[in-house]
Chain A
Amino acid sequence: MNTDKKPIRLSVFIRVHPWPLLLFLLAALPCAAQQIAIRMEAGAFRIEGWQPAAPPADGWPSLFQVFAGEGDVPAMLGSYSVDGGSLVFHPRFPVAPGMRVRAVFHPPESAPIEAVFEVPKAAAPAATTRVAHVYPSINVLPENQLKFYVYFSAPMSKGRAWQKIHLLDAAGALVVLPFLELDEELWDRDSTRLTVLFDPGRIKREVRPLKEIGPSIQAGKHYTLLIDRDWPDGRGAPLAQEFRKEFRVVPPDRTPPDTATWRIAAPRAGSAGPLVIQFPKPMDYALLQHLLEVAGPHGPVAGTIAVEREETEWRFTPREPWKDGDYRVTVQTTLEDLAGNHIGRAFDVDTFDPITKSLPRETVSLPFRTRH
């Protein structure tokens, strides 16, 4: 910004709400230059009363720039046009509500003109977003619990998770660094589900963090997962209320899930009733949504999946009635239990123990025949 000449400072405080309705607001009253004024118009900045000629050698920014925010900040990104005989600056993005914006014009022949605009704050959105559910649903977790899925009722903001999620012990004291605090944050595409991994260094046997400070959660103790109410959702509103999930911890589970222990209730031929599979322990809620598939004599069977009874039951309702015949459920061995143990393989494989060595198969097939 050229500061050789003292600018003529004109301030107009625009108090129009809502922000998108800001149209043709006079930003700077003509003063020394009398005819020259800067208007903010539908999100663009227009110089009135000055006839632009060819762009100067250094480009339009050498004459006209708009600054958002206070202090030594660069001019906003944007483009210029000559529209109806006026020079217009179009910001790359709409100026955010609540911002103070300063437009500075350096007429070639006279003193600079400056106009300040205060974009009205948006009305605070209603606090309606909630924690819809946290999986696992069960309130008894193994000491080597691997993750939580936190489902929200609407999209959330990113980059704040580790300030808003806490683990408390039975006395209400904060557990220090129980989770893997990845800056990237493991959201889904819609920003409605966050995956919270417990620190794997405090789960995995024989690595230094577990030796130094022990597991994040300890068998025999009670804890509370706390999610703060002031976590902004995707619109900037806080949650409708804080969320707490209390749970008790039992010894670590290092037993890989075994499909031989699953109970399959075959559906009746001709019915559209569900195929039901029951597990002896809860399984990973998210993976149950897509790692089990049903196929019949005529190929894959389309249908809907429901996970019930604290993730110990998988129900598949076919789109078309079951036919008389042989079917099978194909299970990807990457399916995990709550502790990250795969089908046939523990989370951390004990290579001294042949029983827990890696299972090379990628799928397990569970045949069943429809009932009559």
Chain B
Amino acid sequence: MRLSYSLSGLAAGLCCAAVLAFGASSGSMQTGKAPLKSAGPMAFGPDGILFVGDSQGAAIMALDVSDRTPARSGGSLEIKGVNDKVAALLGTSADQILIQDVVVNPISKNVYLSVSRGRGPDAVPMILRADAAGKITEVSLENIKHASVSLPDGPAEASRQRLETITSVKYVNGNVYVAGLSNEEFSSSLRSIPYPFTEATKAAGIEIWHGSHGRFETNAPVRTFVPYEIDHQTSILAAYTCTPLVKIPVSDLKPGSKVKGTTIAELGAGNRPLDMIVYTKDGKHFILMANSARGVMKLPADNLETFQPITRQTEITGVPYETIASLKGVQQLDKFDDANALVLIASGSSLDLRTVPLP
């Protein structure tokens, strides 16, 4: 079996091809002020293009952050008190900023942070970049190559108060997938958006259902997900808000379709999956998942497709997992390189951003 992490796999191949491929990806972009109303979940796509979920603007923004210089191997990063440092950069105190997401550029290994300066209605969205030396700079949105696509059911189409909060964004094989949760109806969709964006690009909804033990079905919002590839078939591993972990072949994620994920694990009560990555170590493949209450879990991915779907409520919870005791307080997780993960980790009242060896 061959398994590879889609984004990093892409990245490795892109080191040489980035410049050649770039024209195709950024062709629809315009240069100017990127009108971000909020900066939430992010993901890197091809050629160093950064996708930013803008819940307030009901849009996905693609930014060309001009960061395509491949990193030297063996890098690492540590920024202690990154919340204090970001606040200082922005002339305020740490309780007046929110770090919304943290992602690694798979080409340069620079780290990108989506940040809100302020917590009230006048909050300013920002994208910051941290380099290997720990230096944090602003990615100016004033004059940047960008393209955006509106999510359907935006403010003009429903009520002013209705808002779909974007909880996860990923790029998979030419599509940007967006998970969100409405602040009104529960039956949210997973959105599929072809990239590069064109004027005609629409974010098509896919109904994601959760089949509970062969009997009960719910239109179940996805909280977070990660793409992976097994035997040339790309799937996503998705965590529902009601906690089950499911797999869904990307080929099923067709616009307008109704998809039911296959439950491979149930992670138990009082827990929210926050972030997931897929990686390879010593020839074996694993999923690493950060959770709100149950720490960081490591699941074997080698035989994911052979685990019997959970169809009955038993003591056995599908794919076995272990909890990584050394990783407590992880709030954000991304893959840094083949040997390391990047974590945003709480340490008392401080937040540290650092690379840790993949367990």
Enumerate chain A interface residues (CB-CB to B < 8 A): 67-69, 71-77, 91-96, 98-99, 101, 146-147, 155-160, 176-177, 180-191, 193, 195, 197, 199-213, 232-236, 284, 286-287, 289-290, 334, 336, 340, 342, 347-352, 358
Whether A191 and B121, one on each chain, are in contact in the complex, defined by CB atoms closer than 8 angstroms, is yes
Question: On chain B, which size bracket covers the interface?
Answer: 35 or more
Smallest beta-carbon distance B352→chain A, Å:
13
A sample of 7 cross-chain residue pairs with beta-carbon separation below 8 angstroms, ordered by A number, consists of: A74-B89, A76-B90, A92-B138, A177-B293, A186-B163, A204-B212, A232-B119
Smallest beta-carbon distance A19→chain B, Å:
12
A-side contacts of B340, CB under 8 Å: none
Answer yes or no: B136 CB below 8 A from chain A CBs.
yes
Whether B88 and A234, one on each chain, are in contact in the complex, defined by CB atoms closer than 8 angstroms, is no
Whether A181 and B216, one on each chain, are in contact in the complex, defined by CB atoms closer than 8 angstroms, is no
> Nearest CB to that of B167 among chain A residues?
A184
Smallest beta-carbon distance A211→chain B, Å:
6
0/1 string, B133-144, CB within 8 A of A gives 1:
001111000000
Whether A96 and B92, one on each chain, are in contact in the complex, defined by CB atoms closer than 8 angstroms, is yes
> Nearest CB to that of A233 among chain B residues?
B120
Secondary structure type dominating chain B contacts: loop
Interface hub of B155, B159, B269 (most chain A Cβ within 10 A)? B269
Answer yes or no: B84 CB below 8 A from chain A CBs.
yes
Smallest beta-carbon distance B239→chain A, Å:
11
For the complex, give the distance between the alpha carbons of A183 and B102 in Å: 14
> Nearest CB to that of A334 among chain B residues?
B185
Tell which of B88, B100, B218, B243 touches A348, judged by Cβ atoms closer than 8 Å.
B218
For the complex, give the distance between the alpha carbons of A371 and B88 in Å: 68
B-side contacts of A186, CB under 8 Å: 163, 165, 181-183
Whether B135 and A334, one on each chain, are in contact in the complex, defined by CB atoms closer than 8 angstroms, is no
Beyond A93-B91, A348-B218, whether A209 also contacts B269 by CB under 8 A is yes
Whether A349 and B121, one on each chain, are in contact in the complex, defined by CB atoms closer than 8 angstroms, is no
Beyond A201-B241, A211-B313, whether A206 also contacts B216 by CB under 8 A is yes
Beyond A158-B119, A287-B184, A334-B185, whether A204 also contacts B161 by CB under 8 A is no
Tell which of A98, A177, A205 touches B216, judged by Cβ atoms closer than 8 Å.
A205
> Nearest CB to that of A345 among chain B residues?
B219
Smallest beta-carbon distance A175→chain B, Å:
12
Tell which of B119, B185, B214, B270 touches A157, judged by Cβ atoms closer than 8 Å.
B119
Answer yes or no: B187 CB below 8 A from chain A CBs.
yes
Smallest beta-carbon distance A322→chain B, Å:
24
